[in-house]
Amino acid sequence: MKRVRSSSAAETMVLAKEYAGTIDRGDIVCLQGDLGAGKTNFVRGFVQGLGLSGSEVSSPTFTVINEYEGTMPIYHFDCYRLEHYTEALEIGAEDYFYSDGVCIVEWPERILEILPNEKKWITFKQTGKEEREITFH
């Protein structure tokens, strides 16, 4: 477990960009934290670390999954609006989990029942207006 502090969105993006360098194809990265805790900024930095600009990242709240093509396929899930994990099954979430890309999942606790056992977990805690504590499990 590694715990770091971030004092800005830009700093969170830098941490994420560095973290992306540790990722392999097939990895699943779960991001847990309250609304506004920095998860989407983390995703922006993460995709930068995989060869994209980061500007293409928006919260996929209404589409549930956004796909990006960097140095490997990136599947960005936002499960906030899902009422039940079966909704993720209906849109083929498991196909993404077992693909050759990387999945990054916001609100993973909403689909915990279908997430593979092997996954990386990152929690975000807002500790001030701009400050965050980010824990890599």
pLDDT cut 70: percent of the chain above it: 96
Domain range summary for the chain, segments of one domain joined by + = 2-136
Q: Read off the pLDDT of residues 88-137 as tens digits, 9 standing for 90 and up.
A: 999 999 999 999 999 999 999 999 999 999 999 999 999 998 899 999 99
**Distant-in-sequence, close-in-space partners of 51: CB < 8 Å, separation ≥ 6:** 70, 71
> Each residue of 41-76: pLDDT tens digit?
999 999 999 998 777 777 655 678 999 998 999 999
What is residue 24's DSSP assignment? -
Q: How is domain 2-136 classified at the architecture level of CATH?
A: 3-Layer(aba) Sandwich (3.40)
What element of type H or E holds 73?
strand 73-78
Task: Pull the structure tokens for residue 131.
Answer: 């400050």
What is the pTM (predicted TM-score) of this model? 0.92
Alpha helix stretches (DSSP H) within the chain: 9-20, 39-49, 85-90, 93-97
- Which H/E stretch holds residue 6? strand 2-6
Residues 30, 119 contacting (CB under 8 angstroms): yes
